Amino acid sequence: MEILVCVRRVPDTSENEIQLNGTGNDIERDDLVYSVNEPDNYAVEEALQIAAKNGGNVTVVTVGTEEDEEVLRREMAMGANQGVMLSDEAFEGSDGKGIATILKGFVQKGKYDLVLTGIQAEDGGAQVGGMLAAMLDYPFASLVNSITVQDGGKLKVSREIEGGNREMNEIDLPCVLSIQTGINEPRYVGMRGIRQVASVEIPTYGASDLGVAPVMVGEAGAKVKRLDYFVPALGKGAEILQGSQEEIIDKLIELLKAKGGMN
């Protein structure tokens, strides 16, 4: 099975406090720690497990610039057979539809049975996978938390719905699935693994290579644009307990007693 996984490099919210910059129109990007978008990592692991069980290749692709190469190498160190960079000045400022348009160009250059994305990016909203599927006229399922390959060019997939319940579906290949976190346990990647793929060539494709019209992507094609970032004026908010740790603990115990928090 030929599997393509779309990944992205994002600021890692478990490593960073996200704050506004001095002028208040963007987040402070100096000193941010970036990593691969967490759900994308689960998608790559799932692809590797499917390929190991059923045969096939795993390709990881990202839309970005040179600095995004590190996430491709990380996923190659996990075991992806190759990494591909989609990069062009015309791609800058793309909205979700723009990214999906670029990815569609790449998907159509190859022959993939299965395309995976992470469910959502830290600054996104669960959109690119569904858009890509619609552009390709492939079936789609979101929030996927298990995949079983079946005979006859089909998969059985479960979707995470409310209350921890799972919606079971049968879906024809080729298809696009967006992967929920927790579907598997992504393997650990050490520095050694990353060094081993450090010099592997990563092919780069631009708009003309992909047959993507520049007016359809980037700022030019975006119907949705982020204007600024802000921190909303807080409501009442929590009363932050102050003082030494001992004082804070005493206060908290009083509160817990008063509110029924100690049985």
Partner 1 sequence: MAQIFAYIVHKSGVADDSAAELVAAAKKLDAATTPTAIVTGWGAELDAVCESLRGSYGQVWKIANQALTYPNAELIRQALVKVLPSGSILLVPHAHFGIDLSPGLSIKLNAAYVPDVIGIESVAGASLTLVRQEFGGQVSAHVRCDLSTGAVLNLRPGAFKPQDGAAINGSVIDKSATVGTLTAKRRYLETVVAEAGDVDITKHAILVSVGRGIQEKDNIAIAEELAETLGAAVSCSRPVVDAKWLPKSRQVGSSGQTVKPKVYMACGISGSFQHLAGIKGNPFIVAINKNPKAPFFQVADVGIVADILEFLPELTNKIRETKGVSV
Contact between 235 and partner 1 (CB under 8 A)?
Answer: yes
Which of 102/119 has CB closer to partner 1?
119
Stretch that binds partner 1, among 48-56, 59-67, 161-169, 197-205 (CB under 8 A): 161-169
Which of 52, 198, 200, 255 touches partner 1 (CB under 8 A)? 255
Residue 185 makes contact with partner 1 by CB under 8 A = yes
Residues between 114 and 133 with contacts to partner 1, criterion CB under 8 A: 119, 122-131, 133
Contact region with partner 1 (CB under 8 A), list: 63-71, 78-86, 158-166, 203-211: 158-166
Residue 170 binding partner 1, by CB under 8 A:
yes
Q: Which of 167, 193, 206, 214 binds partner 1 (CB under 8 A)?
A: 167
Residue 225 binds partner 1 (CB under 8 A): yes
Q: Judged by CB under 8 A, which of 175, 189, 207, 212 binds partner 1?
A: 175
User: What does the alpha-carbon distance between residue 46 and residue 180 come to, in Å, rounded to a whole number?
Assistant: 11
* 140-150 and 175-179 strand pairing: parallel
CA distances from 21 to 25, 34, 35, 113 (A): 7, 17, 20, 43
Closest of 29, 28, 48, 36 to residue 9, by C-alpha: 36
Q: Which is nearer to partner 1, 87 or 142 (CB)?
A: 142
User: What values do phi and psi take at 36, rounded to 5?
Assistant: -70, 140
Instruction: Establish if 262 lies at the interface with partner 1 (CB under 8 A).
Output: yes
Yes or no: say if 187 and 151 are a contact pair by the CB < 8 Å rule: no
Q: Which is nearer to partner 1, 49 or 81 (CB)?
A: 49
User: Smallest distance, Å, CB 127 to partner 1?
Assistant: 4
Query: CA 101 to CA 242: how far, in whole Å?
Result: 52
Q: Which one of 29, 53, 109, 156 is in contact with partner 1 (CB under 8 A)?
A: 156
Cα 238 to Cα 73: distance, rounded to the nearest angstrom: 43
Q: Which is nearer to partner 1, 66 or 254 (CB)?
A: 254
Residue 187 as a binder of partner 1 (CB under 8 A): the answer is: no
Report in angstroms how near the CB of residue 239 gets to partner 1 at its nearest. 5
* Torsion sign over Cα 248, 250, 252, 255: negative
Question: Measuring CA to CA, how many Å separate 121 from each of 79, 136, 155?
Answer: 22, 21, 25
Interface with partner 1 by CB under 8 A: which range of 1-9, 76-84, 96-104, 193-201?
Answer: 96-104
Judge whether 65 and 71 are in contact, CB under 8 Å: no
Size of the site for partner 1 (CB under 8 A): 81
Give me 20's structure tokens: 């506004």
Q: Are strands 9-11 and 34-36 parallel, antiparallel or unpaired?
A: antiparallel
